[in-house]
Amino acid sequence: MNQKAIIFDLDGVIVDTAKYHYLAWKTLASKLNFDFTEAQNEQLKGVSRVRSLEILLDLGKIHLEADQKKQLLEEKNEQYLQYIAQMDQKEILPGIDNLLHYLNLNKIPFALGSASKNARLILEKLDLIHLFGAIVDGNDVSTAKPDPEVFLLAASKLGKKPEDCIVIEDAKAGIEAANLALMTSIGIGGGKVLKEADFVLNDTSQLTIDFVQKLMA
């Protein structure tokens, strides 16, 4: 049997940066005079920065010119980076540090498949970057999740066939991308938003070594 590989999403799976994306988008919405709720934020998870702004502006029923959008994207990212600068290893989600070190020690291949253009910076800050066999992020792809490009590229960088890959994701767009790539999908965050996933876990603490070993078998 072929050795399987794991592809991890970043935001919401390795680290809870999802809350910082939300806070930065919420500030932008307030500036544009509308409220942006946590429930609405689910639509932005796993989605590229540019697409996220389009969704936000649609929610606020706001039309802007291209240069104004560019300016807002820069502002949002600057604010997001200020939160990231404060972040440390304590913010790695439960069980993830242990799991990544276990996989690395046991030579089980794994990669990052994230929509974020800040992914490498975040992994460096968390001192996790050296553990990964391959990294694919928002700088490496031309189409964003739910397109499967990010996961297919990660599989190819690991030298794995898509059907031998297991994707761990917290976003609807990411689960859709994994399913389109014909990979096994694991949803983190409960069945309400992730009902399309092959397996759904409430949070990363359920992503135990035992659970992963069973998936690999």
Structure-token match 């972040």, residue found: 87
Q: 167 touches which of ligand B16, Mg ion, none (CB within 5 to 8 A by kind)?
A: none
Candidate residues 19, 26, 69, 117; the one interacting with ligand B16 per rule CB under 6 A: 117
Question: Could you give the string, one character per residue 3-42, with x where binding to Mg ion holds by CB under 5 A and - elsewhere?
Answer: ------x-xx------------------------------
Cβ 9 to ligand B16, closest distance in Å?
A: 5
User: Which of 44-52, 175-183, 186-194, 209-217 is the region at the interface with ligand B16 (rule: CB under 6 A)?
Assistant: 44-52
9 is an active site residue: yes
The residue (of 89 and 213) whose beta carbon lies closer to ligand B16 is 89
Per the CB < 8 A criterion, the answer to whether 9 and 170 are in contact is: yes
The residue (of 50 and 106) whose beta carbon lies closer to ligand B16 is 50
β-bridge mates for residue 167, sequence order: 7, 185
210 is an active site residue: no
Candidate residues 20, 36, 52, 175; the one interacting with ligand B16 per rule CB under 6 A: 52
Question: One of 9, 137, 164, 170 is an active-site residue; which one?
Answer: 9
Q: 149 touches which of Mg ion, ligand B16, none (CB within 5 to 8 A by kind)?
A: none
How many residues in total does the chain contain?
217
For residue 73, with 0-12 CB atoms within 10 Å meaning exposed, 13-18 middle and 19 or more buried, which class applies? middle
Q: 41 touches which of Mg ion, ligand B16, none (CB within 5 to 8 A by kind)?
A: none
Candidate residues 7, 29, 46, 126; the one interacting with ligand B16 per rule CB under 6 A: 46
Q: 153 touches which of ligand B16, Mg ion, none (CB within 5 to 8 A by kind)?
A: none
Per the CB < 8 A criterion, the answer to whether 202 and 190 are in contact is: yes
Residue 164 within binding range of Mg ion, rule CB under 5 A? no
Residues that bind ligand B16 (CB under 6 A): 9-12, 18, 21, 44-49, 52, 77, 114-118, 138, 171
Residues that bind Mg ion (CB under 5 A): 9, 11-12, 46, 170-171
